[in-house]
């Protein structure tokens, strides 16, 4: 065994010389407990996702992702570049990419072959695609927890010592609500993959500060490159910030030969992604930008933080103390803390501006805690302060797991809406292609369940279809409504909650809700032949209206 450096032998932060069997037993028990806690929280919504043997996913984008995976399973050798199932008939050149598609497809094949056919679990054996989509993010979350545990366990300061509070990092990864939501059950979203890839990439930067390890150089470069393949938004910003930190504060780590390996590893997945998925950067016009801004204002994850106390519920009170701890460590010990402070301040600002940055902020906070708490003493008072810092996180989970009556009622209504939407989609199934028009937030689910293409969708690339859907439901004149039906070659119109459809469409178009809009008229027994629609009867939540033949043919 190599001896610790002389400085470490007298350091108050040194690890125990030899924990012995009992110490190792406690250590591994603690690790198993944190992993089980993280996995349990990521399955807290299982009764909302899995209802009556059917899966109801967390976001509308999840259904679009699984529609893509269905195409991959049909043609495994062909990447999905064009999504025809939204913004019909033009479709969209989606920014979604192949890595998560093929990860879900591979998991689906494993579940298809290995899932038990009998017993209580056998009821899900014929839903292997839904099951793979529901499980992929928790599995990635488990991988994230394992990685951060082992990375933090091996965290060393310059003098070779290990901070006593290194385990704060895996604890925050296990319980932080934004990180749990990113990898929660029933959310097949690229965010769970991005968080894992960026965790490895950023953790590699810390290791490269102290030694030119080729293994970490390749791991960090490949993961940053894969993250850029998955998305050119958050990974590009964080990579740029990491490069800036290297230029300003981590110059020693960039002056080694390991960085050449890092650059080569970064280039490999970027080039592979360019070849497989292509690089498509299309800037919207002025009119589209205005519509996109109004549409984005109706999406929760694109909103802003109005009260900074929310951050305590996401990352404990440590979010306020971590910058001070990094500053103190940077002044007294160096350790590259200035770079981590730059990344943390940047990500905090981005999270306040846009909620979608919350998981990446939580991740950066967790990875910075071993350094930020490196000067904290191992005393009962410090332990009590640490536990009290996590009280807001416990309160946040209490509100989520045991919601008040209004929130319970809202969740029940949302679940009932999706259950009835699936029943409506089953009535839309046909061997013929019968495009439909519905509100944009339900269109991906209806398209996935029915197998029919939709005019609207949940992606910003299909803003034209979203706007046409909004205009249609707000119409008070048959002429423009019929023009939309003809231009989009719509065969079925799906009527749902008219009040919500009118409110959302008005926000998107930036106008006042009109009286007597088509969204309300669609629920009348006979909408009127001038609208070219004939509807179902004896329905409660969703009504399907067929477009009359003369409308579809242009008559």
Q: What is the pLDDT of residues 241-256, one digit of tens each?
A: 998 888 777 666 666 7
pLDDT of residue 390: 94
Q: Are residues 443 and 354 in the same domain?
A: no
d(CA 367, CA 315): 12
pLDDT band at residue 216 using 50, 70 and 90 as cut-offs = very high
Q: Is 519's pLDDT higher than 50?
A: yes
Same domain, 380 and 307: yes
pLDDT tens, position by position, 102-157:
999 999 999 999 888 887 888 888 899 999 999 999 999 999 999 999 999 988 88
Angle at which helices 337-353 and 234-248 cross, to 10°: 150
The angle subtended at Cα 191 by Cα 220 and Cα 294, nearest 5°, is 130
Strand 492-495 with 92-93, pairing: unpaired
Structure confidence at residue 376 as a pLDDT band (50, 70, 90): confident
* E-state strands within 358-491: 436-437
- pLDDT of amino acid 285: 57
Residue 4's pLDDT band, with cuts at 50, 70 and 90, is: very low
Beta-bridge partners for 547: 533
Residue 360 domain-assigned?
yes
CA distances to 64, 227, 384 from 42, rounded to whole Å, are 22, 22, 27
pLDDT band at 12 (very low <50, low <70, confident <90, very high): very low
Q: Which domain holds residue 284?
A: 20-51+95-400
Based on the fold, state whether residues 158 and 242 are members of the same structural domain: yes
Nearest alpha carbon to residue 315 among 380, 375, 242, 364: 364
pLDDT-based confidence at residue 359 (cuts at 50, 70, 90)? very high
> Does the structure show a pLDDT above 90 at 538?
no
Cis ω before 89 (30° cut-off from 0):
yes
Round to whole Å and give the CA distance between 555 and 548: 10
Does any domain span residue 1?
A: no
Residue 555: pLDDT above 60?
Answer: no
- Among 376, 400, 424, where does a domain finish? 400
What pLDDT was estimated at residue 151? 94
Last residue of a domain, one of 400, 432, 464: 400
For residue 82, being part of any structural domain is answered with no
Q: For the chain, how many structural domains are there in total? A: 2
Shared domain for 200 and 219, answered yes or no, is: yes
The rounded percent of the chain whose pLDDT value lies above 90 is 60
* CATH number, domain containing residue 441: 3.40.50.12610
pLDDT reported for residue 453: 96
Write 105-108 long-range contacts (CB < 8 A, 24+).
105/69, 105/72, 105/73, 105/76, 105/132, 107/132, 107/135, 107/136, 107/139, 108/69, 108/73, 108/132
pLDDT of residue 21 exceeding 90, the answer is no
Q: Is 5 part of any domain?
A: no
Beta bridge partners of 546: 492, 534
> Residue 29: what pLDDT?
80
- pLDDT over threshold 80, residue 332: no
Burial class (CB in 10 A: 0-12, 13-18, 19+), 254: middle
| Confidence (pLDDT) at 367 | 95
Q: Is residue 115 part of a domain?
A: yes
Q: How far apart are CA 83 and CA 236, in angstroms?
A: 24
490 falls within a domain = yes
How much is the CA Rg of the chain, to the nearest whole Å?
26
pLDDT band at 480 (very low <50, low <70, confident <90, very high): very high
In terms of Cα–Cα distance, which of 319, 317, 374, 307 is closest to 345? Answer: 319
pLDDT, greater one: 311 or 287: 311
pLDDT, average across residues 161-187: 93
Q: What is the mean pLDDT of residues 247-268?
A: 81
* pLDDT number for residue 19: 57
> How many beta carbons lie within 10 A of that of residue 3, not counting itself?
8
- For residue 284, is pLDDT > 70? no
Whether 327 and 381 map to the same domain: the answer is yes
Burial class (CB in 10 A: 0-12, 13-18, 19+), 514: middle
Residue 301 in tokens: 């994850």
Residue positions counted in the chain: 555
Q: Within this chain, do residues 390 and 426 fall inside the same structural domain, yes or no?
A: no
Residue 554 has pLDDT above 90, yes or no: no
Tell me the pairing of strands 533-535 and 492-495. Answer: unpaired
Q: Do residues 482 and 383 share a domain?
A: no
Instruction: Round to whole Å and give the CA distance between 145 and 25.
Output: 19
Most trustworthy range by pLDDT among 151-165, 270-284, 406-420: 406-420
Q: Which residue has the tokens 């037993």?
A: 25
Whether 462 and 423 map to the same domain: the answer is yes
Please calculate the CA angle 511-517-522 and round it to the nearest 5 degrees: 145
Which stretches of 277-317 are DSSP H helices? Answer: 286-296, 310-315
Question: For 439-450, how does the pLDDT look when each residue is reduced to its tens digit (9 = 90+)?
Answer: 999 999 999 999
- In this structure, the answer to whether residues 270 and 173 fall within a common structural domain is yes
In a domain, 90, yes or no: no
Is 10's pLDDT higher than 80?
A: no
**Considering 384, 400, 416, which residue would you say is the last residue of a domain?**
400
Q: Which residue has the higher pLDDT, 411 or 64?
A: 64
Q: Look at the block and give the residue holding tokens 């800037």.
A: 283
Q: What is the mean pLDDT of residues 494-502?
A: 93
- Same domain for 471 and 449: yes
Through-space distance between the first and last CA atoms of the chain, rounded to whole angstroms: 86
pTM value is 0.91
DSSP letters for 220-247: HHHHHHHHHHH-SSHHHHHHHHHHHHHH
pLDDT at 9: 40
Asked if 334 and 439 sit in the same domain, the reply is: no
* pLDDT mean across residues, the chain: 88
* Same-domain check for residues 418 and 280: no
| In a domain? residue 249 | yes
Q: Count Cβ neighbours within 10 Å for each residue of 27-56 and write b for 16 or more, e otherwise.
A: eeeebeebbeebbebbbebeebbbeeeebb
Q: Which helix (H) or strand (E) holds 332?
A: helix 318-332
* Banded model confidence at residue 39, pLDDT cuts 50, 70, 90: very high
Residue 268 has pLDDT above 80, yes or no: yes
Is there a contact between 439 and 469 (Cβ–Cβ < 8 Å)? yes
């Amino acid at each position: 065994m190599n001896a610790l450096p002389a400085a470490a032998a007298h350091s108050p932060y040194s690890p125990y010389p030899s924990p012995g069997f009992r110490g190792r037993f406690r250590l591994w028990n603690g690790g198993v407990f944190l992993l089980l806690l993280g996995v349990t929280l990521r399955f807290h919504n299982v009764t909302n996702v899995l209802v009556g043997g059917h899966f109801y996913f967390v976001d509308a984008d999840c259904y679009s992702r699984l529609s893509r995976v269905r195409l991959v399973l049909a043609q495994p050798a062909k990447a999905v570049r064009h999504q025809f199932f939204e913004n019909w008939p033009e479709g969209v050149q989606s920014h979604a990419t192949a890595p998560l598609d093929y990860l879900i497809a591979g998991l689906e094949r494993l579940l298809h072959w290995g899932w038990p056919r009998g017993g209580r679990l056998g009821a899900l054996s014929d839903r292997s695609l839904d099951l793979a989509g529901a499980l992929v993010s928790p599995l990635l979350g488990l991988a994230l927890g394992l990685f951060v545990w082992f990375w933090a366990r091996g965290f060393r300061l310059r003098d070779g010592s290990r901070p006593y509070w290194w385990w704060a990092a895996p604890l925050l990864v296990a319980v932080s609500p934004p990180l749990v939501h990113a990898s929660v059950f029933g959310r097949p979203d690229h965010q769970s993959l991005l968080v894992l890839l960026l965790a490895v990439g950023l953790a590699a930067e810390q290791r490269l500060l102290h030694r030119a390890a080729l293994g970490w150089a390749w791991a960090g470069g490949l993961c940053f490159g894969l993250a850029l393949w998955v998305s050119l938004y958050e990974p590009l910003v964080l990579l740029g910030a990491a490069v800036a930190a290297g230029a300003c504060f981590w110059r020693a780590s960039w002056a080694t030969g390991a960085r050449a390996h890092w650059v080569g590893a970064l280039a490999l997945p970027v080039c592979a992604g360019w070849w497989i998925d292509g690089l498509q950067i299309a800037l919207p016009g002025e009119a589209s930008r205005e519509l996109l801004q109004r549409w984005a204002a109706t999406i929760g994850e694109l909103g802003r933080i109005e009260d900074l106390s929310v951050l305590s519920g996401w990352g404990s009170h440590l979010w306020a103390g971590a910058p001070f701890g990094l500053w103190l460590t940077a002044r007294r010990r160096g350790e590259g803390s200035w770079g981590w402070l730059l990344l943390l301040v940047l990500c905090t600002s981005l999270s306040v501006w846009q909620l979608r940055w919350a998981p990446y902020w939580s991740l950066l906070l967790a990875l910075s805690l071993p350094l930020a708490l490196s000067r904290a003493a191992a005393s009962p008072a410090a332990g009590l302060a640490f536990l009290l810092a996590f009280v807001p996180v416990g309160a946040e989970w209490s509100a989520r797991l045991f919601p008040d009556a209004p929130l319970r009622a809202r969740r029940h209504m949302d679940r009932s809406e999706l259950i009835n939407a699936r029943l409506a989609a089953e009535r839309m199934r046909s061997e013929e292609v019968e495009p439909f028009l519905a509100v944009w937030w339900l269109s991906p689910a209806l398209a996935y369940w029915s197998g029919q293409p939709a005019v609207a969708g949940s992606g910003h690339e299909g803003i034209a279809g979203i706007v046409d859907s909004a205009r249609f439901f707000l119409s008070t004149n048959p002429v423009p409504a019929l023009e939309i039906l003809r231009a989009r070659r719509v065969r079925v119109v799906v009527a749902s909650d008219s009040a919500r459809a009118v409110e959302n469409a008005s926000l998107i178009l930036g106008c006042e809700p009109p009286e007597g809009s088509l969204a309300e008229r669609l629920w009348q027994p006979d909408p009127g032949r001038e609208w070219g629609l004939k509807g179902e009867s004896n329905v409660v939540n969703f009504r399907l209206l067929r477009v009359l033949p003369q409308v579809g043919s242009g008559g």
